[in-house]
Chain A
């Protein structure tokens, strides 16, 4: 499973309108961040897991998709423990995993095109102020899609550095990685223009 990749299905979550799902994600995200305490954070995680089960997310691929988030969440938790308290660290860890799992559940149960259509519908009234709904929707879709693409570039660049015996050199990895990401952004811009999507 890749972040942003829809998987066809007929669960309740698949059938829910995209607006309801996005609104629910927004409400839950605010609640997760605003409500304090490790017990409540565990409750939110249980809810996120329940929603993932309802959406029939595949366990091994979900774990793979959340691996990077888990690493960051552990680092943040350790920092919180060092700076504040153990409870705060546990809460941060659970909150971050819950947020990531909820976002993943949304993308797995909602086709990106459906999200695009909804965004276009919602911001169409702002067209009179010069906002182009199609362009905004395309930007959102590209932000979602950029994640797996950038991760693939990171992996290729790391492999290239290793192949040259420079696996431990941050400069041998980071410099070409940044250059490749910028180059890919240019190429994608050209491709969008060529497809008439920026006109």
Chain B
């Protein structure tokens, strides 16, 4: 599995309220090599910031983040070719009118021949159970289908790592299960940010983030127990 290394990586932002800087994520040092990594924590705790640093969407104010030795701040384009990312609301991520065209967009860089590109896009949609929706408007899909399409668009380029930020938050139980099964069947390294404690229990390693700090890092059941205890404290 790829090595995701955080070296004292810290994110601070200017805060007019505090008349200075606010720390979003305190200095974090970690090396992640497991196949399935979960990140849990309260809203606003810094877990999405941690995940976004892996793809270079957020670069550390100080310290470094490396993906297999590639510094995300300096070699962001190379890192993004290796690290796919999906968002909570897939609507923001789908930028083409139809399903097949959206997947084709992802493939433009790697598959130059138009006919071949469409074929690969259709094959990708079929793998995600969306073959019959290929020519349908992305606006006509259900929430679960949109999330599947967002995943298909990202995974079409076969990244080594998939970072997914609350992929099941907007979904009903049936779609949550469907997306969950898909995520845990992937051969890629998976970094899953979620509030779904059942889903995160399937991870090999779980980080608990609270108040901008990784406050627990370990085996899934123990991490969930720690998190539940933390939020239950008055």
- Residues of chain A whose beta carbon lies under 8 Å from any beta carbon of chain B: 2, 4-8, 111-114, 116-117, 134, 138, 141-142, 144-145, 148-149, 152, 184, 187-188, 190-197, 199
Contacts and interface: CB of A to CB of B under 8 A. Distances in A.
A187 B95 contact: no
Given A113-B104, A194-B80, A195-B106, A145 B87 contact: no
Contacts of B86: 194
Contacts of A191: 87, 92-93, 95
A152 B87 CA distance: 19
Given A113-B114, A199-B76, A190 B98 contact: no
Contacts of A188: 92-93, 95
Contacts, number: 92
Contacts of B229: none
Top 4 nearest A-B pairs (CB, nearest first) are: A187-B92, A199-B77, A194-B85, A191-B93
Interface of B: 55-57, 76-77, 80-81, 84-87, 89, 91-93, 95-98, 101, 104-106, 108-109, 114, 117-118, 135, 137, 139, 153-154, 157
Nearest to A7: B135
Contact of A6 (B81, B89, B98, B139): B98
A100 to B, nearest CB: 17
15 contacts: A2-B97, A4-B97, A6-B98, A112-B97, A112-B101, A113-B117, A114-B114, A134-B109, A141-B96, A190-B92, A191-B92, A194-B93, A195-B85, A196-B81, A199-B76
A11 B91 CA distance: 32
A113 B77 contact: no
B55 to A, nearest CB: 6
A106 to B, nearest CB: 13
B139 A148 contact: yes
